Amino acid sequence: MPKGPRTETVYKMPEDTTPSASGEACGCSGVPEQQLRLTENLDREFGDVLLTVPDHSWKGYGLTRALDRRVILGVFEKLKEDSKFLFSMLVDVTCVDWLDQREERFELVYQLLSLTFNHRLCLKVAVPESDPEVDSVRPLWPAANFMEREVWDMFGIKFRGHGDLRRILMYDEFTGHPLRKDYPLRRKQPRVPLRSPELRNTASDMQRPVLCALPVRQNFKTSE
Amino acid sequence: MGDVRNDWQPRDVGDVSLSKTMVLNLGPSHPATHGTVRLVVEVDGERVERCDVDVGYLHRGFEKECEHSTYNQVIPYADRLNYVSPLINNVGWVLAVEHLFGIEVPPRTQYIRVMLSELSRITDHLTCLGAASMELGAFTVMLYLMQAREELYDLIEAVTGARITVSYMRVGGLREDLPEGFKEELLRRFEIIKKHLADADRLLTKNRIFQDRLSGVGVIAPDEAIAYGLTGPVLRASGVNYDVRKVFPYSGYENFEFDIPLGAKGDNLDRFIVRFNEIFQSMRIAEHAMRKLPGGPICVDDPRVIMPAKDEVYDSIEGMISQFKIVFAGIKPPPGSIYFPVEGGNGELGFYVVSDGTGQPYRVHVRPPCFLAMGIFGPLVEGYMIADIVPCFGLMNMIGGECDR
């Protein structure tokens, strides 16, 4: 076996070893200790800000809280920096479109992970259709860059302070936000005319030029 | 430990004719950006000033399509996510839905799932290393590793019937049991794979060109890797010990003994060697799984998810109705949501499933590890040369199906 820079068993299982998967599968028993500690700390620090919602059904790792969209940045910053939480990784940002089933149409879901304590947290933020705008967490975790762009692309939720909010999976001339429930599965989009090299490739909904602009007539340079 | 580079802004290219730099377009159809990704690089001579990654060329609407399919109909779609390790996607999806139900599969199923996940992980790493070596010029290594991969594809085909589009897992179990003589065949083929890996190692590890091309290039500091949400071999190459199989074990992984290779510097060479060593660890797990494979049923005995036996379907009304409802209406988990991560070939592959109690999921979201790797790719290659883009990209292992869904 080739010798790499370091190949050793450096991982130690935490003392509160989670029970084997052949134990309880429902979330009611066998909750790992770090999740219980996290729950206590969350209730103590954020008792009024974070509301309890039904957990994800996964042993306790699916610990879920809801918060108001106006306090996102403050809460996330504390969750990231505070020595009891240390959520160093933003694992996922996604959105669910509840359409008429809820008063506030969209629900942003953030998954956080702490590599220090090995605890996870899921935060849900309700976003109304009338004002689909929240603060971006990109200043805290650069991982949010692509993930928030995808939520904008698919659902149309704007992130203040993101700095580069443009479509990521769909092409720029696409109209609409495809993962919304009122966007039909088989809708056809109008044909995009061939992009002329003279035109800047402007994201039509953001009205700003981006680096993807195809350059205008470059002079061939031999030396500078 | 560098500062976290989080300040990438698009810039008006301005009057390019007067600037020193040239804007080049790599992709989306490019032999070295395998997978359809477009890199718009602004270069000053050979040096990359800025790079913008344009993903989404393989976006097929997986998440939208899932809202219109039943839970078992999603499984062929899940195959096509990370198409070099389809069984891991299968396992991830199926486990997420099983946790929604609150059901637990029998131990034999768990061991088979672990074994097949590891086979898929080996195919993923072999593809990545082979393609990366080929792009550096070591075409022979690619052929050796592809030959090794063929051995695995024969095994996977024997079990599931297909090489890539496997659709083998079902919610609550597997499609069918392993064939006869599988264990001996697997152990025999692993020896062949180890020979191919030894050949590849002999060609590469002490190779001057290989070392110079990869060493010190594409360095990602550990805190930067964490801040960018990287997981998997890329994160472990930067020295961070995080593997979902160890920290949040699923499907019986806590019963298996394996090491986690870690890198020291976080450069391309570390990513290569971490993946290389992970192949050996995966073989260790798969061999253990086969040697200790328990007997018993392969599906959980739960009429909510598993179709009744065929003789019951034909002979009893209840069996026929049950079969009909499961196939047409779909299985119905209780309303709720779950985010369930598994360790994919590239890192933490998470499935976020929202169920509203009907036979079709209300919302499905895949957290793709290589999507986030593309997030860091732009800032990563700044300052390096155009020729360094190729190994950096290759060793990130961007799989288009997973990144774009």
Average pLDDT, integer, range B155-182: 92
Query: Distance (Å, rounded) from C-alpha A72 to C-alpha B326?
Result: 42
Q: Distance, in angstroms, between A198 CA and closest chain B CA? A: 12
Alpha-helical runs (H) found in B72-221: 74-79, 86-101, 107-136, 139-160, 182-204, 208-214
Q: Are A146 and A152 in contact (CB under 8 A)?
A: no
Identify which of A83, A110, A40, A17 has the alpha carbon closest to the alpha carbon of residue B247: A17
| Spacing of C-alpha A142 from chain mean position | 11
B187-224 burial, b for 16+ CB within 10 Å, e for fewer? eebbeebeebbebbbeebbeeeebeebbeebbbbbbeb
Average pLDDT, integer, range A174-193: 88
The strand pair at B363-367 and A120-127 is best described as: unpaired
Q: What is the pLDDT of residues B323-334, one digit of tens each?
A: 999 999 889 999
Q: Are A72 and A136 in contact (CB under 8 A)?
A: no
Q: Which residue of A has its CA nearest to B246?
A: A13
> What is the residue extent of each domain of chain B?
74-302
Residue numbers of B between 104 and 163 with CB closer than 8 Å to A: 104, 107, 110
Q: Distance, in angstroms, between B403 CA and closest chain A CA? A: 9
Q: Which of A1, A4, A143 sits opposite B229 (nearest CB)?
A: A143
Residue position matching structure tokens 């152990």: B187
Q: Provide the strand spans (E) within B163-310.
A: 169-170, 173-174, 261-262
Tell me the one-letter amino acid at B357: G
Q: Are B259 and A4 in contact (CB under 8 A)?
A: no
Of A159-168, A206-215, B19-28, B290-299, least confident by mean pLDDT is: A206-215
Q: Is the ipTM of this complex over 0.90?
A: no
* CATH fold for domain B74-302: Cytochrome-c3 Hydrogenase; chain B (1.10.645)
Tell me the one-letter amino acid at B6: N
pLDDT for position B27: 74
Q: To probe the interface with B, which of A34, A57, A65, A107 has the most B CB atoms within 10 Å?
A: A57
pLDDT for position B229: 92
List phi, psi (to 5°) of B170. -130, 155
Residue numbers of A between 61 and 100 with CB closer than 8 Å to B: 61-62, 88-92, 94, 96-97
Tell whether B102 lies on the interface with A, counting CB pairs under 8 A: yes
List phi, psi (to 5°) of B315. -105, -20
Under an 8 A CB cutoff, do B252 and A17 touch? no
Task: Sort out which chain B residues have CB atoms less than 8 A from A96's CB and list them.
Answer: 337, 354, 362-363
Residue numbers of A between 173 and 192 with CB closer than 8 Å to B: 178-179, 185
Q: Is A200's pLDDT higher than 70?
A: no
The strand pair at B38-44 and A133-135 is best described as: unpaired
Identify which of B160, B184, B153, B148 has the alpha carbon closest to the alpha carbon of residue B291: B184
Query: Distance (Å, rounded) from C-alpha B359 to C-alpha B328?
Result: 9
Q: Provide the strand spans (E) within chain A.
A: 6-7, 51-52, 64-67, 89-97, 106-113, 120-127, 133-135, 158-160
For domain A33-135, say whether CATH 3.30.460.80 is its number: yes
Q: What is the pLDDT of residues A17-75, one digit of tens each?
A: 333 332 333 333 567 788 888 888 888 888 777 777 766 666 777 888 888 889 899 89
pLDDT for position B62: 93
Q: Is A126's pLDDT higher than 80?
A: yes
Residue position matching structure tokens 């008006």: B12
Query: Distance (Å, rounded) from C-alpha A102 to C-alpha A121?
Result: 23
Query: Distance (Å, rounded) from C-alpha A191 to C-alpha A157?
Result: 25
Q: Is A153's pLDDT higher than 70?
A: yes
List phi, psi (to 5°) of A120. -120, 155
pLDDT for position B5: 55
Query: Distance (Å, rounded) from C-alpha B147 to C-alpha B193?
Result: 8
DSSP structural state of residue B315: H
Query: Distance (Å, rounded) from C-alpha B25 to C-alpha A221?
Result: 18
Under an 8 A CB cutoff, do A166 and B248 touch? no
> What is the residue extent of each domain of chain A?
33-135
